[in-house]
């Protein structure tokens, strides 16, 4: 029974991260029907930038919390810049093009970002400094670390903040209108270009924080860490219903929990034929199953007319 | 257009009229026949590179059927290459101690890949473009992960270590991996494989061209243009799409078998996602739907990185005293950049098919 | 798919659409407008219902079309006409009630299977293969009546080559039949609007249908084009093909159709010869009460 609880806790932690990253995918798809392949790389850059900042400051006498905060505050604008540049330079000119073109572009950007990161931060996995000493708690036989609590809390905060922004502010209404029907939104006086750029930027900011969380949780950062994470987060977004914010959050958490439970139990269930190294297969299988059997996802997709 | 430019005397003007075409073909054939020896002078490695390039042309032609003809965006195509390679490796190596001849295994590999094509294609039939891409990507990764892990409890694929000492092609006592001297020319293993590959490649090109301009090719075009209208005209879109997957996959399977034999060793590392992206890029950059465009794209994307490596390395060494940026990284950076730039400025590719050009010229 | 032999140039022929025994005569007699060939109904519809969520788009619709008729389907916007078409051609899965075509029940069949049985359609918003040439469009229409597969294509067998030549020949004939032979090699989406509609008809005729279902073929056409369309459709009928068409152009409907069916809010409110239907008070009321059908 304590594996179960432990895996639930691990799953919730992992799932929160998936959820935050999934929000980036789902917002962009909802508004311009593009799978932003490069979003995973944005998350990676967030982790890397934070890594650099934290590593540099770690030697100083500043309090650890402040150092980490500075790292996050450095990562966010860096990722926002990357997100904005992507949209402006590569995606905006292709807005009327058939789906294949922006998809290929996204792959290209993903490759570029990965290898720029490789150049800047080297090929080797980097040890992500975990400098804030946080207590662990024991709950019903399972261990919850402070990091896990921090991640879950941060994620909840960000998800809440985003929801507030999308449903209570003018900009949020503009985003929702543009994603439903860009032409009419434009006629109503909404600056579509700015709204779309904003969507990318917000997603990137969320991704930056997610990157820091992932780096801290696993203690490692690597130039290729974005691709698998991105795939899984995208699966989560689809699972919940693409374009649907609540769906992304639900999908992320669900995917995280189920993945953790699978990793925990799969050895026992299959008599050790399949071990936990098949964990990644599982995420892909979920993705495929959802797309084939219930393409609109659990909570229904929110994708507008693409003229 | 008959006998233009035939002025006085035979052969007076070979640059006009139908003869010109055949002269051109003859020249190209000669060049291709002599190529490996010219390359061998620069080093056997170049012949190997050429062979690999030919394999990639093969793959691109296969993917072109799926993406270019039928319009199905497949991001996991390398899985079929993997299946063909492992089929060959399992049937012609010490791993299971089976040593079937290559002319038996290659068709088997094609068939197995065909079956995989149908299996992987079947769930995707109702999906729209980008979802189709993601699902096929997922399948490609799943195949790779299984190949990496099917070493327990029964050792089928030998996991990450791969399978080595794979038999080369053999006909009786003539082995493709041994160096022989004939007519005063040195035929190394790679050179022998080169000629075989060239012949198979020409066959593949012919098959592709014939498929394109046939009833099936038109049906693929119809499904790509407007699936609902195609259905209304009596085309069984399910069968047609599966046929595209199956045919495309079989090319991959054959290429995979050849790859296993030529390299003598395979492991899951050769079949990663980036390879699928690479083949897709060859098709897209070369000119989707245009067989010759695809050939060009594959040749360019296979050779340019190698040429880069041979020029940039020494250049860096002379400028900086060391290799500041690994050629592999430069290659990938330029590759990514090429993808982005192509989509911005020439989305239909270098040698686009007329239809595709019109499709992509359609702006909102 | 039947291996049917081409019987020379000229009119599109209808014939058996499946591998079943040939029960139709190979040639059809010339028909006068309004004259039905008899021999029973080609298409019977009984008790057709179709729901979209909470909306009942079609309710208990029933009618029948005789062989050789030109049968019109009219009604105000939103009456369910295109929905009926889509149900007939298999785009919507079988609902309560259904269609009987040439004696065979159509429920559960996919659109391509229905096309193979002899029902060809055009679309309200024109669905051509836009980036392909006009000739290619019609050649694709021949797909369902031909059979060359991968082996034939790759090996270029004599049978395949002969079939290809026949396909191209027939496609050119059909382009001539509808009057756009000169545009055979032009890109479909660059054709003038009227020619696009005619191309769509040619493509549908290429499938050798028994029933040609046209969804607003005269939409967007001027008076001259409409008159030419009328002549074309009369010729198609004379060559033995039954026609079902949705139309808003009442002059065309009056002059062309043997009988019409009037739908309103998914229900059948009248059926019969156009003149009779025009005077039917329920029909008049449906079209904004009092304005009257035929005023258009």
Contact B243 C91 (CB under 8 A): no
H helical segments located in B64-161: 78-91, 102-121, 129-149
> Which residues of B are less than 8 Å from C156 in CB distance?
210
The pLDDT tens digits for B49-71 are 899 999 999 999 999 999 999 99
Closest chain B residue to C128, measured at CA: B229
Looking at the predicted structure, is the pLDDT value of residue A259 above 80?
Answer: yes
What predicted TM-score, i.e. pTM, was given to this entire model?
0.86
Cα of B123 to nearest chain A Cα, Å = 6
CB B74 within 8 A of CB B66: yes
Instruction: Provide long-range contacts, Cβ within 8 A and 24+ apart, for B115-120.
Output: B116/B79, B116/B80, B116/B83, B116/B143, B116/B249, B116/B253, B117/B80, B117/B242, B117/B245, B117/B246, B117/B247, B117/B248, B117/B249, B117/B250, B118/B242, B118/B245, B118/B246, B118/B249, B120/B76, B120/B79, B120/B245, B120/B249
B315 vs B303: CA distance, rounded Å: 18
Following DSSP, what letter does each residue of B88-106 receive, concatenated?
A: HHHHEETTTTEE--HHHHH
- Which residue of chain B has the CA closest to A290? B135
- Contact check, Cβ <8 Å, B207/C154: yes
Lowest mean pLDDT among A76-90, A111-125, B22-36: B22-36
Chain-chain contact of A94 with B343 (C-beta, under 8 angstroms):
yes
Q: Which domains does chain C show, CATH number per domain?
A: 40-118+209-296 (3.40.50.300), 129-203 (no CATH)
Contact call for C187 and B358, based on CB within 8 A: yes
Which of B 87-126 lie inside 8 A of A, CB atoms? Answer: 123-124, 126
Between CA B252 and CA B262 the distance in angstroms is 15
Burial (CB count within 10 angstroms: exposed 0-12, middle 13-18, buried 19+), residue B352 = buried
Please tell me the predicted confidence (pLDDT) of residue C123: 93
A181: chain B residues, CB-CB within 8 Å? none
Percent of chain A beyond pLDDT 90?
41
Interchain CB contact of B153 with A (< 8 Å): yes
**B abuts A (3+ Cβ pairs < 8 Å):** yes
CB–CB of C116 and B355 under 8 A? Answer: no
Q: How far apart are CA B331 and CA B310, in angstroms?
A: 12
> Per the CB < 8 Å rule, is B225 touching C160?
no
Residue of chain B whose Cα is closest to the Cα of A104: B339
Task: Give yes or no for B362 touching A (CB within 8 A).
Answer: yes
The CA R_g of chain B, rounded to the nearest whole Å, is: 22
Asked whether the beta carbons of B187 and B181 are under 8 A apart, the reply is: yes
Contacts of C160 in chain B (CB under 8 A): 214
CA distance C129 to C195: 14
Q: Is B232 on the interface with C (CB under 8 A)?
A: yes
Cβ distance B340 to A105 less than 8 Å, yes or no, reads yes
Please give the structure tokens belonging to residue B299: 């040749």
Taking contacts as CB-CB distances below 8 angstroms, the residues of chain A near B362 are 98
Strands C242-246 and C70-74: parallel
Q: Would you tell me which residues 259-288 of chain B have a C-beta closer than 8 angstroms to some C-beta of chain A?
A: 273-274, 277, 280-281, 284
Of the candidates B64, B73, B140, B121, which has an alpha carbon nearest to the alpha carbon of residue B245? B121
Contact B127 A291 (CB under 8 A): yes
Chains C and A touch (3+ CB pairs under 8 A): no
The Cα C1–Cα B236 span in angstroms is 12
Q: pLDDT of B81-92, one tens digit each?
A: 999 999 999 998
| CA–CA separation, A246 and A241 (whole Å) | 8
Say how far apart CA B124 and CA A59 lie, in whole Å: 53
Q: What is the pLDDT of residues B97-139, one digit of tens each?
A: 888 888 889 999 999 999 999 999 998 888 877 888 888 998 9
Cβ contact C112–B243 (<8 Å): no
Nearest CB among B216, B234, B243 relative to C115 is that of B234
Q: What pLDDT sits at residue B62?
A: 96
C89 contacts in chain B (CB < 8 Å) = 232
Task: Please give the structure tokens belonging to residue B139.
Answer: 């399948």
- Average confidence score pLDDT of chain B: 86
Find the largest Cα–Cα distance for chain A.
62
C119 to chain B, closest Cα gap in Å = 9
Nearby residues of B118 by Cβ (< 8 Å), 6 or more positions away: B242, B245, B246, B249
Residues 6+ positions from C165 with CB-CB distance below 8 Å: none
Burial class (CB in 10 A: 0-12, 13-18, 19+), B311: exposed
- What pLDDT digit, counting tens, does each position of A133-154 carry? 777 888 777 888 888 888 999 9
Using pLDDT thresholds of 50, 70 and 90, give the confidence band for residue C173.
Answer: very high
Confidence band for C94, pLDDT divided at 50, 70 and 90: low
The answer to whether residues A221 and A128 touch, using CB atoms and an 8 Å cutoff, is yes
Q: Is the pLDDT score of B221 beyond 90? A: yes
Nearest-by-Cβ selection for C131 from B211, B243, B355: B355
More confident residue, A180 or B179: A180
B345 touches chain A (CB under 8 A): no
Residue C205's pLDDT is 96
A288/B135 touch (CB, cutoff 8 Å), yes or no? yes
Which residues of chain B neighbour C154 with C-beta distances below 8 Å? 207, 210-211
Give the minimum alpha-carbon distance from C279 to chain B in angstroms, rounded to a whole number: 36
CB A47 within 8 A of CB A185: no
A4-18: burial string, b at 16+ Cβ within 10 Å, e else: eebbbbbbbbbbbbb
Nearest CB among B207, B218, B230 relative to C139 is that of: B218
- What are the strands, taking DSSP E only, across C216-257? 242-246
CB nearest to B339's CB, from A35, A104, A227:
A104
Which helix (H) or strand (E) segment is C119 a member of? Answer: strand C119-121
Phi, psi at residue A136, to the nearest 5°? -110, 150
The beta-carbon neighbor of B329 closest among A102, A110, A115 is A115
Q: Judge contact between B313 and A103, C-beta under 8 A.
A: no
- B17 contacts: CB under 8 Å, gap ≥ 6: B1, B3, B4, B5, B6
Residue A292 binned pLDDT confidence (cut-offs 50, 70, 90): confident
Higher pLDDT, A133 or C243: C243
More confident: C86 or A133: C86
Whole-number Cα distances in Å, C143 to A43, A269, B239, B336, C183? 50, 51, 13, 41, 21
Break chain B into its structural domains and give their ranges.
29-272
pLDDT at residue C198, rounded to an integer: 94
For position C34, what pLDDT does the model report?
A: 47
Nearest CA in chain B to A29: B130
Spatial separation of the C-alpha atoms in residues B43 and B21, rounded to whole Å: 33
Distance CA C264, CA C58 (A): 9
Q: Does B258 touch chain A (CB under 8 A)?
A: no
Q: How confident is the model at residue A5 (pLDDT cuts 50, 70, 90)?
A: confident
Q: Angle at Cα C37 formed by Cα C32 and Cα C40, nearest 5°?
A: 150
Which residues in chain C touch residue B219, judged by CB atoms under 8 angstroms apart? 140, 143
Query: With an 8 Å Cβ cutoff, are B231 and C110 in contact?
Result: yes
Q: List, as ranges, residues 15-54 from B with C-beta within 8 Å of A.
A: none
| C109 close to C89: Cβ distance less than 8 angstroms | no
Of B136-150, B227-241, C8-22, C25-39, least confident by mean pLDDT is C8-22
Nearest residue, CB atoms, A35 vs list B130, B149, B363 = B130
Q: Mutate which of A40, A89, A104 to test chain B, going by most B C-beta atoms within 10 A?
A: A104
Minimal Cβ distance to B237: which of C112, C153, C156: C112
Name chain C's partners: 3 or more CB pairs within 8 A.
Answer: B
* Beta carbons of A275 and B149 less than 8 Å apart: yes
Which residues have C-beta within 8 Å of that of residue B80, sequence separation ≥ 6? B62, B113, B116, B117, B248, B249, B250, B251, B252, B253, B256
Query: Chain B residues with CB inside 8 Å of C187's CB?
Result: 358
Q: Has residue C183 got a pLDDT over 90?
A: yes
Q: Looking at CA atoms only, how far is residue C47 from chain B in angstroms?
A: 24
B207 and chain C in contact, CB less than 8 A: yes
Contacts of C152 in chain B (CB under 8 A): 214-215
Using left for φ > 0, alpha for ψ between -120 and 50, and beta otherwise, residue A220 falls in beta
Instruction: Report the alpha-carbon distance of residue C243 to residue C66 in Å, rounded.
Output: 10
Closest by alpha carbon to C89, among C66, C58, C48, C120? C120
Which tokens go with A41?
Answer: 């790389």
C280 sits in the region (left: phi over 0; alpha: psi -120 to 50; else beta) called: beta
Q: How many CB atoms lie within 10 A of CB A172?
A: 18
Q: Is A108 at the interface with chain B, CB within 8 A?
A: yes
Of B153, B335, B347, the CB nearest to A273: B153
Instruction: State whether residue A124 sits within 8 Å of chain B by CB.
Output: no
Host H or E run for residue B203: helix B189-212
Q: What is the pLDDT of residues C132-152, one digit of tens each?
A: 999 999 999 999 999 999 999
Interface check for B236 against chain C (CB to CB < 8 A): the answer is yes
SS3 A126: strand
Check residue A274 and give its pLDDT. Answer: 66
Q: How far apart are CA C74 and CA C59, in angstroms?
A: 16
**pLDDT > 70 in chain C, percent:** 82
* Residue pairs between chains B and C whose CB atoms are closer than 8 Å: 103
Nearest CA-CA partner of C226 in C191, C197, C189? C197
């Amino acid at each position: 029974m304590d594996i179960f609880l432990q895996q639930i806790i691990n799953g919730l932690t992992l799932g929160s991260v998936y959820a935050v990253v999934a929000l980036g995918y789902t917002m962009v798809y909802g508004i311009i029907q593009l799978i932003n392949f490069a979003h995973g790389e944005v998350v990676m850059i967030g982790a890397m930038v934070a890594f650099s900042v934290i590593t540099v400051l770690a030697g100083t006498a500043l309090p650890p919390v402040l150092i980490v905060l500075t790292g996050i505050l450095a990562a966010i604008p860096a990722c926002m810049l990357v997100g904005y540049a992507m949209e402006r330079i590569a995606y905006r000119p292709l807005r009327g093009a058939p789906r294949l073109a922006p998809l290929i572009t996204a792959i290209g950007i993903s490759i570029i970002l990965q290898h720029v990161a490789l150049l800047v931060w080297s090929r080797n996995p980097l040890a992500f400094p975990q400098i804030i000493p946080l207590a662990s708690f024991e709950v019903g036989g399972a261990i919850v670390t402070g990091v896990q609590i921090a991640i879950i809390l941060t994620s909840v905060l960000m998800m809440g903040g985003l929801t507030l922004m999308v449903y209570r502010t003018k900009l949020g209404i503009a985003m929702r209108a543009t994603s439903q029907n860009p032409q009419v939104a434009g006629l109503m006086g909404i600056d579509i270009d700015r709204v779309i750029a904003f969507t990318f930027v917000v997603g990137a900011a969320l991704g930056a924080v997610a990157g820091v969380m992932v780096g801290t949780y696993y203690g490692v950062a690597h130039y290729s860490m974005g691709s698998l994470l991105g795939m899984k987060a995208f699966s989560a977004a689809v699972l919940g219903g693409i374009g649907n914010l609540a769906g992304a959050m639900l999908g992320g958490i669900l995917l995280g929990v189920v993945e953790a439970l699978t990793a925990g139990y799969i050895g026992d269930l299959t008599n050790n034929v399949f071990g936990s190294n098949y964990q990644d297969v599982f995420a892909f299988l979920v993705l495929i199953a959802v797309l084939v059997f219930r393409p609109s996802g659990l909570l229904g997709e929110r994708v507008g007319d693409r003229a | 257009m008959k006998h233009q430019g035939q002025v006085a005397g035979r052969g007076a003007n070979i640059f006009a009229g139908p003869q010109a075409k055949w002269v051109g073909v003859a020249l190209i054939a000669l060049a291709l026949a002599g190529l490996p020896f010219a390359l061998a002078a620069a080093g056997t490695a170049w012949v190997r590179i050429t062979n690999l390039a030919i394999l990639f042309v093969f793959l691109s032609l296969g993917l072109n059927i799926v993406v270019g003809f039928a319009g199905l965006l497949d991001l996991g195509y390398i899985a079929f290459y993997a299946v063909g390679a492992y089929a060959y490796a399992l049937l012609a190596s010490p791993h299971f101690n089976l040593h079937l001849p290559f002319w038996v295994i290659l068709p088997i590999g094609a068939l197995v890949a065909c079956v995989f094509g149908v299996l992987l294609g079947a769930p995707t039939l109702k999906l729209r473009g980008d979802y189709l891409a993601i699902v096929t990507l997922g399948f490609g990764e799943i195949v790779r992960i299984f190949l990496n892990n099917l070493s327990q409890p029964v050792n089928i694929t030998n996991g990450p270590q791969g399978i080595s000492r794979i038999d080369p092609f053999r006909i009786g006592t003539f082995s493709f991996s041994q160096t022989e001297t004939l007519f005063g020319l040195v035929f190394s293993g790679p050179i022998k494989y080169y000629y075989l590959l060239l012949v198979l490649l020409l066959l593949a090109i012919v098959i592709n061209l014939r498929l394109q301009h046939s009833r099936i090719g038109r049906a693929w075009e119809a499904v790509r243009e407007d699936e609902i209208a195609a259905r209304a005209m009596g085309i069984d879109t399910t069968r047609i799409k599966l046929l595209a997957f199956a045919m495309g996959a079989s090319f991959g399977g054959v290429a995979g078998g050849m790859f296993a034999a030529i390299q003598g060793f395979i492991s899951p590392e050769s079949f990663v996602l980036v390879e699928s992206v690479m083949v897709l890029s060859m098709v897209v950059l070369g000119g989707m739907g245009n067989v010759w465009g695809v050939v060009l794209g594959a040749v360019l994307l296979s050779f340019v990185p190698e040429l880069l490596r041979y020029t940039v390395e020494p250049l860096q060494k002379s400028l900086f005293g060391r290799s500041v940026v690994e050629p592999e990284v430069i290659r990938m950076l330029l590759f990514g950049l090429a993808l982005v730039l192509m989509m911005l400025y020439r989305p239909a590719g270098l040698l686009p098919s007329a239809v595709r050009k019109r499709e992509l010229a359609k702006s909102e | 798919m039947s291996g049917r032999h081409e019987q020379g140039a000229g009119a599109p022929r209808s014939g058996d659409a499946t591998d079943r025994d040939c029960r139709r005569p190979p040639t059809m007699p010339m028909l006068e407008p309004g004259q039905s060939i008899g021999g029973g109904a080609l298409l019977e519809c009984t008790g057709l219902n179709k729901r979209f969520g909470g909306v009942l788009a079609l309710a208990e619709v029933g009618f029948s079309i005789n062989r050789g008729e030109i049968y019109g389907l009219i009604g105000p916007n939103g009456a369910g006409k295109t929905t009926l078409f889509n149900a007939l051609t298999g785009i919507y899965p079988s609902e309560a009630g259904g269609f009987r075509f040439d004696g065979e029940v159509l429920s559960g069949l996919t659109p391509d299977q229905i096309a193979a049985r002899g029902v060809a359609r055009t679309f309200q918003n024109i669905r051509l293969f836009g980036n392909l040439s006009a000739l290619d469009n019609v050649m694709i229409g021949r797909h369902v009546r031909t059979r060359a597969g991968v082996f034939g294509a790759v090996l270029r067998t004599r049978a395949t080559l002969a079939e290809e030549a026949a396909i191209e020949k027939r496609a050119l004939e059909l382009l001539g039949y509808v009057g756009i032979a000169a545009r055979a090699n032009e890109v479909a989406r660059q054709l003038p609007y009227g020619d696009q509609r005619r191309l769509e008809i040619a493509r549908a005729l290429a499938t050798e249908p028994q029933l040609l279902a046209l969804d607003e073929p005269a939409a967007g056409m001027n008076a001259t084009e409409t008159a030419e369309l009328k002549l074309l459709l009369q010729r198609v009928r004379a060559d033995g093909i039954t026609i079902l068409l949705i139309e808003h152009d009442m002059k065309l409907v009056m002059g062309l159709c043997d009988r019409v069916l009037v739908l309103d809010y998914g229900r059948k409110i009248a059926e019969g010869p156009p003149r009779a239907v025009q005077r039917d008070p329920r029909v008049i009321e449906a079209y904004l009460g009092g304005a009257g059908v035929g005023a258009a």
